[in-house]
Chain A
Amino acid sequence: DAKTTQPTSMDCAEGRAANLPCNHSTISGNEYVYWYRQIHSQGPQYIIHGLKNNETNEMASLIITEDRKSSTLILPHATLRDTAVYYCIVRLMNSGGSNYKLTFGKGTLLTVNP
């Protein structure tokens, strides 16, 4: 799986958009970008994933650059409950083979301030 690079920490004001960057310059053509988050003392929570098109769901938007070397997770209206560590993970879609592993790095600690 491709390695990812994320800032260690970021701050965001409540109600504003939080934009979390991730660099994955060695991503291969069939690897997906996944985002998970972990609120303090809880298990990680899946947010969103994408291949090359921008994706949006009820939690967030994912913007992937045209060359796929980087992406940005956008929380459109951050709340205090969005304070968490956000993990960007790159991996192949599992086709029933042996690729089940999610490799978690250290992620970005997003602190949403009142």
Chain B
Amino acid sequence: NAGVTQTPKFQVLKTGQSMTLQCAQDMNHNSMYWYRQDPGMGLRLIYYSASEGTTDKGEVPNGYNVSRLNKREFSLRLESAAPSQTSVYFCASSTRGGFNEQFFGPGTRLTVL
């Protein structure tokens, strides 16, 4: 039982390049989330997917797109990376209702030059 896995662990992009961050969970959770964390800050929600087939914007969705590929996988895409998107990205998953204890992945450290 791997929990929440994220790939890649590290990535360096040039301004304007695109890339997709991958996230998968094996806990049969309905809900999945993408957060970003900037230095010295708390986490901010980018997008979430309450259940397979649905996605919604969080606090900071601009510059990102998401795809809930199936129940296990939730990807985050940067179409045209900007230096302001340099951050650590965390994926999380939870049950849909109830207390929603969220389980987090190890993070992807992205630098945009």
A interface, CB within 8 angstroms of B: 32, 41-46, 49, 87, 93-96, 98, 100-107
Contact A96 B96 (CB under 8 A): yes
Interface SS of A by simple majority: loop
**A107, B58: Cα distance in complex, Å:** 20
Is B58's CB under 8 angstroms from A104's CB?
no
B92: CB under 8 A from chain A?
Answer: yes
Report the tally of A-B residue pairs with Cβ distances under 8 A.
60
With contact pairs A104-B42, A106-B40 given, residues A43 and B106 touching in the complex (Cβ less than 8 Å)? yes
- Residues of B within 8 Å of A44, CB to CB, are 43, 90, 92, 102, 104
CA distance A101 to B50 in the complex (A): 10
- B100 CB, min distance to chain A CBs, angstroms: 5
Chain A residues closer than 8 Å to B33, beta-carbon distance: 100
- For the complex with contacts A44-B104, A93-B100, A100-B33, 17 further pairs of A-B residues with Cβ separation under 8 Å are A42-B106, A42-B107, A43-B90, A43-B92, A43-B105, A44-B90, A46-B102, A46-B103, A49-B101, A87-B42, A93-B99, A94-B97, A98-B56, A101-B45, A101-B48, A101-B58, A104-B42
In the complex the two chains form, is B104's CB within 8 Å of A43's CB? yes
**B31: CB under 8 A from chain A?**
yes
A96 B58 Cβ-Cβ under 8 A: no
Give the distance in Å from the alpha carbon of A96 to the alpha carbon of B58 in the complex.
Answer: 17
Per a CB cutoff under 8 Å, which of B4, B31, B42 touches A106?
B42
Interface pair B100/A94, CB less than 8 Å apart: yes
CA separation between A42 and B105, bound complex, in Å? Answer: 8
Interface assignment of B53: CB less than 8 Å from any CB of chain A: no
Tell which of A43, A87, A96, A100 touches B48, judged by Cβ atoms closer than 8 Å: A100
Q: Answer whether A102 and B50 are a contact pair too, CB < 8 Å, given A43-B92, A94-B97.
A: no
Q: CB-CB < 8 A to A45: which residues of B?
A: 104
Q: How far is the CA of A94 from the CA of B101 in the complex (A)?
A: 10
In angstroms, Cα B101 to Cα A93, docked, is: 10
Which partner residue on chain A sits nearest B42 by CB separation?
Answer: A104
